[in-house]
Amino acid sequence: MQSIEVLGQTMSVSHVVTGPVHSRILVVDDEPQIRDIVTRALEAAGYGIDSAPDGATGLSLALSGEYQLVILDVVMPVKDGRQVLRQLRRLRPDQRVLVLSCLSDVTAKVDLLDAGAKDYLTKPFSLDELLARVRVQLRTDPHAADQAAGDIVRVGRLVLDLGRMQADAGLGLVPLTRLEILLLRTLMEHAGESVPKGALLASVWGIDFDPGSNVVDVCVRRIRSKLGFELIETVRGAGYRLAS
């Protein structure tokens, strides 16, 4: 278990549970802590991730692989993000790049966007905002959309569309948040079994919370309000279970 500081808060990262991979993303950043937390967050959201600790390695991977998105730092050893971006634009002009950098001045942002970046996010950053920006970029990628459309999970009458972030419990498609999707998917993967709150915290949020946290209960209530109270059963002293 490793402690990581994000936005001034120290969090203990445990593990994430990955589901069907509907897009591949390359993370290029020389800061191990940033690279690790971004990778874990993206994997928890269902993406396939490769990472590189410097620009030269990142460029080599980007040119030899197929990635729907590259998340690129700017200030790095060996080869900086500007050089990587320019070479990608020349050799692979369709490659989507989201810059993630500590450079916050307007000139740097404009230069990198003009150089071919599709988006720019300044460090320190919110993981929720990063994930939202990733979703925006992938929504405009027809190849990613085609792959995402195939990520369907079914248990009984419940249908979960991971790519479009929707669920149907028999009354039509309902949009869900990322956390609601992850929690529901975890319960579906353990259909017929009770899943402890601690296991849901680890698989959905990917980090350890205070044992007294009610984030799981709140998320379950939101899902019930959207898809029906009877969908998720409370197992006293044991957690939650998907209704049979």
Domain locations along the chain: 2-145, 151-242
Q: pLDDT for 129-180, tens place per residue?
A: 899 889 888 875 545 444 444 468 888 889 998 777 889 998 888 998 878 8
Among positive and negative, which fits the CA dihedral 229, 231, 233, 239? negative
Q: Domain 2-145 adopts which CATH fold?
A: Rossmann fold (3.40.50)
Look at residue 145 in the predicted model and tell me its pLDDT.
47
Report residue 233's pLDDT band, with 50, 70 and 90 as the boundaries.
Answer: very high
Quote the CA–CA distance of 237 and 234 in Å, as a whole number: 9
Which of 64, 71, 85 lies closest to 42, judged by CA?
71
Domain 151-242 is found in CATH 3.40.1160.10: no
Q: Check if 2-145 and 151-242 are the same fold.
A: no
Cβ(20)–Cβ(151) below 8 Å: yes
Average pLDDT over residues 1-28: 51
